Structure 1
Amino acid sequence: MRPRFAAAPLTLLSALLLLLLMAVGCAPRESAVEVGNREGVLHLAISDEPETLDPHLAIAFSDMQVITALFEGLTALDANTSRIVPGAAESWETSTDGLTWTFHLREGLQWSDGTPLDAQTFRDSFVRALAPSIGSEYAYVLFPIKNAERFAAGEIPDFVAVGVKVVDPLTLRIELEHPTPALPAILTLPVAYPVPLHVLRQLGGTINLSNPWARAGTLIGNGPFQLTEWSPDQHLRAERNPHFRTADAVALNAVVFHPYANVTAQENAFRAGQLHITSGLPLTKIKAYQTDAPELLRLDPFFQTAFMRFNTTRPPLDNPRVRRALALAIDRDALADHVLTGGERAAPRLTPPNTNGYTAETPLRYDPDEARRLLAAAGYPKGDGLRPLEVITRPREIDRLVLEAIQQMWQRELGLRTEIAVKEQRVWLSDERALNYDISNAAWIGDYLDPETFLALFITDGGNNATGWSDAAYDDALARAARAPDEATRLAAYQEAETRLLTELPMVPLYHGTQPFLIRPEVRGWTANPLSFRRYQDLSLEPSAATELNLP
């Protein structure tokens, strides 16, 4: 039998352990930012949970923000200058007639699992991106390639006829339907990225929409970072890819993407030390940060237009007079002056002004008298007989405020009643694709600095059209622009196209955006970038710059 006093030392030991645990528990816990500064891990917000990380299927900006860290195309966008720079291809040249481009790949390119990739990988990835069964909504940007459109439409079954040819393992030749000076810019887009076909073949096939390859554990990329975690609606973690061609020059050890649809939640996370960078900021907080913490606030330029799509297959929006009445009853200047506080500009046209030397010459105006006349001519005087229209949108503060203002304008000027339906991004995208809406609140960020990237949105059956609108005159103007022999002729054709668009109005532009966001002082290399795409390999963290924030 144990002596009765034998339990006493154990009780004393337990008490000492309890005191130690209490002391540890009372010690201040490091925030995610503090740990990130020490470990070289950047924490940033994205506006939505990604729908997909498959480069050939992604269309949402939040998806592409992650994808550009994981993959690299033949060419790349320099986030500091918005210029096109070498990516997987170290150089390229074009023929004198502009119809043949030859890309020279770097030696030793590898996937993040160490598997080599070469010109054949790129060629076979183009096969997938253009495959009719994949149905990529972004495939249309590749249609300048010879026979690409016909292959995507199923008119040509054999990819041999398409103008993507392997010359040798390090040389890829692309033949075009017509001269396309923007080809290097087009090739920076995810739809032109290579995909790890060796992985896709193991998991269900290369042309299989249900293939589960694009997730943590199976997603293999060729970019500066590799996906290691994906906790839905929580975070995605991408760690430095040791097989990237310049891995030694990548300063960050990891990037953690945090999805936040709500900008107020983002700001709270920033204040709590959970984020280095937000993707937005509540409009009501901008002035406070301008006054009390300007060093944390950024209002960067943004190559973006916010607009509303009309479902032109649904009455009464199948009537151009109704669409035009709605467009003319919106006071865009009032939106910019009294609703938006981040430096956004009224958008009387789709294409942002001075886009590569182009500005639309026929802007929309605010004309409520003409709007009422048009509505009456369409059979709805003072809105009589006009059913309530539903506007679908995502759960974003800026969208809610703008739509509420427009709702009041339409009620006051036209007698029109509208209902605002807030939907998660996945549902909103699905409803747009299926034309399951009346009016959809949307926005577009230019893929490259050219009017084509905006105007091509509304071409007949375009992957991002989502309005049901088809207009032969519009399509013809864009086709002539693509084949124009000189810049003046090209821009003149774009003028024709945008004039037609702003007459028929399958959409109505609202404002040109800016990028209001918060950024901590220890982040280095985050330069203003109107296209907003970056690969993160040029970023770094300087822990010595960390300081207690002077928050408003």
Structure 2
Amino acid sequence: MNRHSLLMGGLLALLLLSACQPSPSPTLLPSPDVTEEEEPTVAVEPSVAPTLPPEPIVARINLERSPVSIDPTLVAAGDAVGNDLVEAFFVGLTQVDLDTGEILPMLATEWEATDRDGLIWEISLRDDVYWVSIDADTNEFVQQRRVIADDVLAAITRACRADSGAPLFQGALIIAGCREVRASNPATLTDEDIVATLGVSILAESSLEIRLAEPVGYLPSVLAMPLLRPIPHDQVGPDWTLPANLWVSGAFVPQPTIAPQEGYRLLANPFWPFERMGNIDVLEVSFGRPDDAFGAFMNGELDLAPIPPGEINPGFFASNGAYQRVARPVTTILIPQAEVPPFDDPQIGLALSLAIDRAALIEQVLEAEGQGTGLPAVQIAPPGTPALQVFDESGYDPEQARILLREGGYNNCLGLPPTTILIDETPLSRRIAEVLRDMWLAELNCVERFRIEERPFSEVQDTLLAPPPLFSFPRPGLAVLNWQADILDAHHWYADVFGCQALFPSAYLDQSRPCTEVDELVMTAARTPDQDARFDLYDQIQADMFGSSGEMPVIPLYHFARPLAAEDGITLPPGGPLRFVEWTLSP
């Protein structure tokens, strides 16, 4: 994105990354079927806003690499900077409180299931959120028009079309007709086909109805995803996200005269109707080498910068409150195979988990090897996941691990069957397996019990996906896997990844473990629309699966994390995108 000219000359070498994006697909035209009772919309000429205050509060940050995309439909979960900028530019229907996991109103003021089966939801929208741009000739803010229900429909349509290239399209498949639209030939798919197929109806400019393919209670979480953020239906086309062309509905507007490859200059949106928790008037975003950026931060020239891997060492983050880690939606897990002894006894997997010092694992595997950093994972979903509160467990109790191993008949690891740890061919995966093996030797006296086997990732994946009778070589007892979420809700982590087959037949891991009462709770949570009830259910689910006496169907190791250095007043979330609108700097 664009680096503004006010940044100190020669401060950073800019890193240019190509942004390979599919061409935007055709967008469904505004729906004509508005209720007869609605007042006709009065055309309003675009209005302009005053320029910046005389002494604006300016934040200067470096985000290391430019985004792959700032198109809400096309931004991927792994594109951290793209998600930061989408958060700044596009209002969500709902918003996740990244500290508590609660779903909050944003553009949508209300959402509720209106039928007994929980299939039909009515969404009410604010009528004071506008599309805004900056006139490149006058440098004035332009209030274009209101964000309306047709903009929501446009986002859902693009998410469902196969030719949009939406990487997180899975989230939209809960909407009735979306799967059918996606399966249609884009070359022959018409707007009329989509209207007839997709379960979305415009009730008025500020309300719409969404029909679901099956009753799920986590629709509000999906409405918070970038995937379904409203887009200006009459503006989407080639190059529509370039600053010179972009209409935004979020808290910041990009200056149109700066090319994206040079960075971004974000100006506070004067038409933003929400309470502004911070005080940033101008945000200057640059990209470049983390070593240079971190040096500039240490010299007081930047307010936020990435921390280079070479700077990170044991105890680094405890040494200075400015150094922080923000979780990404990726978790490294160890998968016990329930059909392979001794993991047919869940207590053995729990014993191995309790013998893992996750903080030490991160230090030895990531930080000491120059691989960045992570956050200890005591349950599978990373911080900031909707419906999950902080899970107050350490995850490390070697004494209890020894007790469980003894109760399972393997005192001091005697008699424990030789176990293969299956990994892909990356050095990082090998290092993970080696450190785990060393920890189990030190804590449980497991001498020569674990063998590491490398295979191409495709074979690792096939092994995890194959039902037990079908694998082509002896089933490993354990396997290492990195999982990146494509639906941002607790349900995805607890059901879509490792749900028991009888209740969740489409779960990624084809585990043969029997369904238990806690799996029934996961199913109940999936169908529960009440937010407080979902929190209560997932509190119980977390404890029953990953607590000190939990079932441990998978063993979480660590969450991927962004290491960032930030000035006082810059509030960083525990996970998820950066929210510039919440930052407060001293004048």
Q: Please give the range of the TM-score, normalised by the shorter of the 2 chains.
A: 0.5 to 0.7
Per the alignment, residue 168 of structure 2 pairs with 138
Instruction: Identify the match of residue 198 of structure 1 among 218, 224, 234.
Output: 234
**Distance (Å, rounded) in 2 between the aligned partners of 1:56 and 1:408:** 44
Is residue 198 of structure 2 the alignment partner of residue 162 of structure 1? yes
**Distance (Å, rounded) in 1 between the aligned partners of 2:540 and 2:341:** 25
Do the aligned residues in 1 keep the contact of 2:338 with 2:511 (CA within 8 Å)?
no
Is residue 70 of structure 2 the alignment partner of residue 53 of structure 1? yes
Amino acid in the other structure paired with 1:75: T
Do the aligned residues in 2 keep the contact of 1:166 with 1:172 (CA within 8 Å)?
yes
**Alignment deviations for residues 262-288 of structure 1 (CA, whole Å, 9 cap, x no partner):** 6x6654342133431245575745746
Do the aligned residues in 2 keep the contact of 1:45 with 1:266 (CA within 8 Å)?
yes
Do the aligned residues in 2 keep the contact of 1:122 with 1:193 (CA within 8 Å)?
yes
Per the alignment, residue 526 of structure 2 pairs with 482
**Distance (Å, rounded) in 2 between the aligned partners of 1:319 and 1:404:** 24
Aligned-residue identity in percent: 18
Per the alignment, residue 76 of structure 1 pairs with 95
Cα 1:468–1:375 change in 2 (3 A) is farther
**Alignment deviations for residues 143-173 of structure 1 (CA, whole Å, 9 cap, x no partner):** 4433434444449953434332111222222
Cα 1:400–1:68 change in 2 (3 A) is farther
Per the alignment, residue 239 of structure 1 pairs with 266
**Distance (Å, rounded) in 2 between the aligned partners of 1:80 and 1:238:** 28
Cα 1:478–1:81 change in 2 (3 A) is closer
Per the alignment, residue 510 of structure 1 pairs with 557
Say which is worse superposed, 117-126 or 152-161, in terms of deviation: 152-161
Do the aligned residues in 2 keep the contact of 1:329 with 1:409 (CA within 8 Å)?
no
Q: Alpha-carbon deviation of 1:190?
A: 0.1
**Distance (Å, rounded) in 2 between the aligned partners of 1:492 and 1:298:** 26
Cα 1:178–1:415 change in 2 (3 A) is closer
Do the aligned residues in 2 keep the contact of 1:77 with 1:533 (CA within 8 Å)?
no
Per the alignment, residue 225 of structure 2 pairs with 189
Is residue 298 of structure 2 the alignment partner of residue 254 of structure 1? no
Q: Alpha-carbon deviation of 1:191?
A: 0.7
**Distance (Å, rounded) in 2 between the aligned partners of 1:119 and 1:271:** 46
Instruction: Identify the match of residue 355 of structure 1 among 371, 388, 394.
Output: 388
- TM-score normalised over the length of structure 1: 0.61
Amino acid in the other structure paired with 1:390: E
Unaligned runs of 5+ in 2: 1-7, 13-53, 135-142, 368-372, 442-446, 465-478, 500-505
**Distance (Å, rounded) in 1 between the aligned partners of 2:292 and 2:435:** 24
RMSD: 5.7
Do the aligned residues in 2 keep the contact of 1:455 with 1:498 (CA within 8 Å)?
no
Instruction: Identify the match of residue 574 of structure 2 among 530, 533, 536.
Output: 530
Is residue 425 of structure 2 the alignment partner of residue 390 of structure 1? yes
Query: Within 5 A, what are the aligned runs for 1:56-455?
Result: 56-57=73-74, 58-60=76-78, 62=80, 63-77=82-96, 83-92=102-111, 94-95=113-114, 97=116, 98=118, 99-107=120-128, 109-112=130-133, 114-116=143-145, 117-134=147-164, 136-154=166-184, 158-177=194-213, 180-201=216-237, 203=238, 212-227=239-254, 228=256, 229=258, 236-240=263-267, 242=269, 244-246=271-273, 251-258=280-287, 267-280=294-307, 284=312, 287=315, 290=318, 294=320, 296-298=322-324, 306-308=331-333, 333-337=356-360, 339-340=362-363, 347=377, 349-351=379-381, 355-356=388-389, 389-391=424-426, 405-406=435-436, 413=448, 416-417=451-452, 441=482, 447=488, 451-455=490-494
Per the alignment, residue 519 of structure 1 pairs with 566
Question: Aligned pairs, how many?
Answer: 458
Instruction: Identify the match of residue 60 of structure 2 among 16, 24, 43.
Output: 43
Amino acid in the other structure paired with 1:336: A
**Distance (Å, rounded) in 2 between the aligned partners of 1:92 and 1:511:** 34
**Distance (Å, rounded) in 2 between the aligned partners of 1:135 and 1:493:** 37
Cα 1:187–1:534 change in 2 (3 A) is farther
Secondary structure at the aligned position of 1:200 is classed as coil
Cα 1:287–1:483 change in 2 (3 A) is closer
**Distance (Å, rounded) in 1 between the aligned partners of 2:287 and 2:545:** 37
- TM-score normalised over the length of structure 2: 0.58
Q: Alpha-carbon deviation of 1:510?
A: 0.3
**Distance (Å, rounded) in 2 between the aligned partners of 1:370 and 1:236:** 59
